[in-house]
Amino acid sequence: MGTRQDIRNKIRQLTGRKSQVQLSDAEVDFQIDSYYEGEFPLQFRSSDLRQEFSMTLIPNIDVYTVDAQSFQSIEPVCYVEGYPTLFLEDRSTLHKLFPDIRQDVLLGFGNGGTSYTFMLNVSTATPILKGTVLVYSDTGFSTNTSVVDDSQGNLVDLNADGTFGTIRGTISYQTGAIVITFATLIPQGKEIKIQSRQYASNRPTTVWYWVSEQETGQLTFRPVPDKSYNIRIITYNIPVLGTSQTAVPTLIQWWEALAYGASMKIFENQKDLQSAQQMEQLLERKLNLLGRQQWFQLRTQRTQTIYNTPMNGISPGDGYFGFFGNTW
């Protein structure tokens, strides 16, 4: 009981559409998956969808891509080698803690040609941060006289739409060695400069999470890792129901809720709003019952406050990291 086929059968009973002509299995399955993945997790935030996400940081790499489509949210606490870190979703707060100051350094002067080799004076303890390099001539900031780095060690043109263009040279983030061929001649005596940010690597104490317009999640760590570190984050995943007829939800008890929710969407599509409202009432009742299971699981847990979750013998409310009450 509780399989995809059981959910289909329940939906056909609820909607009164028992034949494939009235409602195909493909449409039923679409509405089941649409509700289960898109609406159910928002209506019923179950701890059974909570999972630990783990990854390994790489030395001198500060930005990591995660699949934002695979989970609802990330819990606001991250552990680096067991140490809690500050979890941010606001760029301005990150820059207040770690200012994004970029140096403007003279590399040399134009000689009337296009090809140049430079050596930026970089200490081995403070390499260049990837993605922060701009090499330009003081003739202007046009695409012909300036290049940026692509975070892969290449110096490239920056297109008007923000994408990377032709590769013009290379830069070593560790040594500061630069080889570049501009798209146009740099006049004799014209300054050639570089803007970049250098950094001192260490164990990360802060992580910034954001989702781009392409629905790609990124985790940025500060300080930049100086060696490999294991990180652990709690995420609330988006549930997925298998395609086979015997596939079951994360918890079998959810199957009727999925039938009510999918039936509601079917009635909405057919503009039968009265029937959709009836399904919504049945769904709300079912979700309330499912919520009791989670309540029973948590009934012995004391509500956490800044006064009853000490960390290292100090009340978390006494310091900047006072929100670390939600521990493992």
Q: How many CA atoms are closer than 13 Å to the CA of 124, on its beta-carbon side?
A: 0
Nearest to 175 by CA among 117, 111, 114: 117
User: Would 52 be classed as within a structural domain?
Assistant: yes
Query: CB within 8 A of 237, min separation 6: which ones?
Result: 49, 50, 51, 70, 71, 72
pLDDT of residue 307: 63
My answer on whether 68 and 38 are in the same domain is: no
317-326 long-range contacts, Cβ below 8 Å, gap at least 24? 320/86, 321/84, 321/86, 323/76, 323/77, 324/77, 324/84, 326/75, 326/76, 326/77
My answer on whether 63 and 211 are in the same domain is: yes
pLDDT of residue 25: 92
My answer on whether 41 and 51 are in the same domain is: no
pLDDT of residue 68: 81
My answer on whether 183 and 37 are in the same domain is: no
Question: Contact 267/15 with Cβ under 8 angstroms?
Answer: yes
My answer on whether 134 and 278 are in the same domain is: no
pTM to 2 decimal places: 0.76
Total structural domains within the chain: 3
Q: What is the mean pLDDT of each run of 10 residues along the chain (328 residues)?
A: 93 92 93 94 87 91 87 86 91 90 89 92 78 85 78 91 91 92 90 91 93 79 94 91 93 94 95 95 92 70 61 42 42
Compute the distance between CA of residue 14 and CA of residue 70 in angstroms, rounded to an integer.
30
Nearest to 327 by CA among 313, 311, 315, 314: 311
User: Could you give the angle at which helices 4-15 and 255-269 cross, rounded to 10 degrees?
Assistant: 40
User: Would 154 be classed as within a structural domain?
Assistant: yes
pLDDT of residue 124: 61
User: Would 186 be classed as within a structural domain?
Assistant: yes
My answer on whether 261 and 284 are in the same domain is: yes
Compute the distance between CA of residue 246 and CA of residue 244 in angstroms, rounded to an integer.
5
- Residue 280 lies in domain: 4-45+251-288
Task: For 74-132, write each residue's pLDDT tens digit.
Answer: 888 899 999 999 999 888 999 999 998 888 899 999 999 999 999 988 766 678 999 99
My answer on whether 38 and 174 are in the same domain is: no
Between the CA of residue 2 and those of 14, 250, 251, 265, what are the distances in Å?
A: 16, 10, 9, 20
